[in-house]
Amino acid sequence: MASLIDKGIRRLDRIGRKYPNRTAVIMALAAVVLIVIKNS
């Protein structure tokens, strides 16, 4: 589970470097966290 979150963060970090819109990255990260919590 933790590795899944880690992978998601790494992917978002890569996206964040390409698209420096931090708000969108933070919102996407929050969505990933909510999905993981829901599925646990």
**What is the pLDDT confidence band of residue 26, given thresholds at 50, 70 and 90?**
confident
Q: Is 10 left (phi over 0), alpha (psi -120 to 50) or beta?
A: alpha
| Section 11-39 average pLDDT | 80
Q: Could you tell me which residue, 15 or 32, shows the higher pLDDT?
A: 32
Whether the per-residue pLDDT at 13 is higher than 80: the answer is: no
Residue 20: pLDDT band by 50, 70, 90 thresholds? Answer: low
- Taking 80 as the threshold, does the pLDDT of residue 35 lie above it? yes
